[in-house]
Structure 1
């Protein structure tokens, strides 16, 4: 029986495909959510980031394993690939901004908060001054989307909006953010997620030794490269177990495990939970 995968869309309900060009899009919350009784079922976007801005009303958000309930004004930023769903209070007002993953190139180096926001997502309430500024920028983006426009102008206004969002880590002392080599390592893991490639494969693809990759991961992430790989495989397994009707054996097969029992032991060792526990 084929695996019932998590739905993936370009925009909710709209089919994605490899030939779709890079794009940026904005619409009101009501434009799509009101057609679905103000509820957006769990899904994901393989090649885009979404930013939800709620100015009036309330939203219940599911972001992978996190559940949030936020009153307006607030925002939720969903990174590429994250499973997410929303339930809005009827007549909630705001916007949904969708940006192709290439937008992340606008980050100015590994320490730029914009890069961390796009890669890791986030959700916060909006203080009044920021909320007013973000509402003006979102309204301008909506106006630009309604007529032929220069894409560079749209991206510039979108960047201004994202840089206006308050950050959860605004008061913490960061050490400069992730090394760019780690971003390439993570991209390779995504590409070969069910291939069970050894660490030496990734090190060679990155043009470094296993020892160098190990030092990089320990310094930046506090774990080994193998742990990075295993955690990503486990997080994908968790998404499939929680958001699809696939059996444990089907999830194991989807992720390249030859034996469901071995997958179950791997999952327990990596997450501290049995796969069956995710059903509840």
Structure 2
């Protein structure tokens, strides 16, 4: 039977024992990429966020529906769970920093740019004014790295300084963002259960009307549309990045039967799920990193 799972690693090609609560690791891009002919295939990290810093060369960066061609000096932040891959020009140089999910607790609050960087993800040029600082921090972390499964406070402090030297996504415009963030977290952890809107609202301690007003005001969609968009994104990931058939994807996502899943997919996507299997992601500069 073909697999319905997208490869999940801590470091590309490597797993980690589940009892490792905290970890942090940095390595040169060439350390791993050169072994794979500078091509890192689609995969994701379910327990960590990753920052890639490119100081020389070019990269074709893919993260879910986002595709970018970037030249050094540039950076990419990959949030937890996003399917991503890299294609580097030979002899590219830079570093890959991997941080366990708990690193986000270093943020001082919901409006901290650090939190937006690590949870929303982004990519772009490293500001010229910060380039020397970013380079030095990477080199210093390489020097002080010991057991990456038990990172030292100095290493984590340097990692925070590095991430804070990168431009963050735009600031959220209102307090609704906190409520939406909690709603999104519930969606992520209960996506396959297909709960009702009342179920979500009850766990947010608000009414369905309040949740609906928040989503319409901030996202111009209903809460159920947001849930459906997330289900559709996961379905597209599984169809594109695994060898699973439509029936397996339907089962993985908690649909009662593959026919119902196919109708759901076609209604929202405008094409049958079988048509989207293994298609290349199209360039779309409007697509967000998610």
Q: Tell me, yes or no, if the aligned pair for 1:264 and 1:275 is still in contact at 8 Å.
A: yes
Query: CA–CA distance in 1 between the matches of 2:174 and 2:76?
Result: 24
Alpha-carbon offset, residue 102 of structure 1: 1.6
Query: CA–CA distance in 2 between the matches of 1:117 and 1:57?
Result: 23
Q: Tell me, yes or no, if the aligned pair for 2:22 and 2:151 is still in contact at 8 Å.
A: no
Structure 1 length-normalised TM? 0.90
Alpha-carbon offset, residue 268 of structure 1: 2.6
Partner of 2:155: 154
Are the structure 2 counterparts of residues 109 and 179 from structure 1 closer, same or farther at C-alpha, using a change threshold of 3 Å? farther
Are the structure 2 counterparts of residues 154 and 219 from structure 1 closer, same or farther at C-alpha, using a change threshold of 3 Å? farther
Query: CA–CA distance in 1 between the matches of 2:65 and 2:232?
Result: 12
Q: What CA deviation, in whole Å up to 9, does each residue of 1:33-63 have, x standing for no partner?
A: 1222222111100011000000011111111
Q: What CA deviation, in whole Å up to 9, does each residue of 1:198-220 have, x standing for no partner?
A: 11111222222222222332333
Q: How does 1:1-280 map to 2 (within 5 A)?
A: 1=1, 3-146=3-146, 151-167=152-168, 169=170, 174-176=172-174, 179-279=177-277, 280=279
Q: Tell me, yes or no, if the aligned pair for 2:4 and 2:249 is still in contact at 8 Å.
A: no
Query: CA–CA distance in 2 between the matches of 1:277 and 1:252?
Result: 15
Deviates more, 1:136-145 or 1:148-157: 148-157
Query: CA–CA distance in 2 between the matches of 1:210 and 1:3?
Result: 37
What's the Cα RMSD here? 2.2
Query: CA–CA distance in 2 between the matches of 1:271 and 1:105?
Result: 36
Q: What CA deviation, in whole Å up to 9, does each residue of 1:153-183 have, x standing for no partner?
A: 22222122112113464xxx74147633332
Q: Tell me, yes or no, if the aligned pair for 2:113 and 2:169 is still in contact at 8 Å.
A: no
Q: Which fold has the larger relative contact order, with Cα–Cα distance below 8 Å and residues 6 or more apart in sequence?
A: 2
Q: Aligned to 1:21, what secondary structure does the other structure show? A: coil
Q: Aligned to 2:192, what secondary structure does the other structure show? A: coil
Q: Aligned to 2:264, what secondary structure does the other structure show? A: helix
Query: CA–CA distance in 1 between the matches of 2:132 and 2:30?
Result: 20
Alpha-carbon offset, residue 150 of structure 1: 6.9
Deviates more, 1:31-40 or 1:203-212: 203-212
Deviates more, 1:173-182 or 1:193-202: 173-182
Query: CA–CA distance in 1 between the matches of 2:273 and 2:183?
Result: 27
Query: CA–CA distance in 1 between the matches of 2:157 and 2:219?
Result: 31
Query: CA–CA distance in 2 between the matches of 1:27 and 1:182?
Result: 35
Alpha-carbon offset, residue 10 of structure 1: 1.1
Query: CA–CA distance in 2 between the matches of 1:87 and 1:177?
Result: 38
Q: What CA deviation, in whole Å up to 9, does each residue of 1:242-265 have, x standing for no partner?
A: 101111121111111122222122
Uncovered stretches (5+) of structure 2, i.e. residues with no partner: 280-290
Query: CA–CA distance in 1 between the matches of 2:133 and 2:228?
Result: 41
How many residues matched? 277
Uncovered stretches (5+) of structure 1, i.e. residues with no partner: none
Deviates more, 1:195-204 or 1:103-112: 103-112
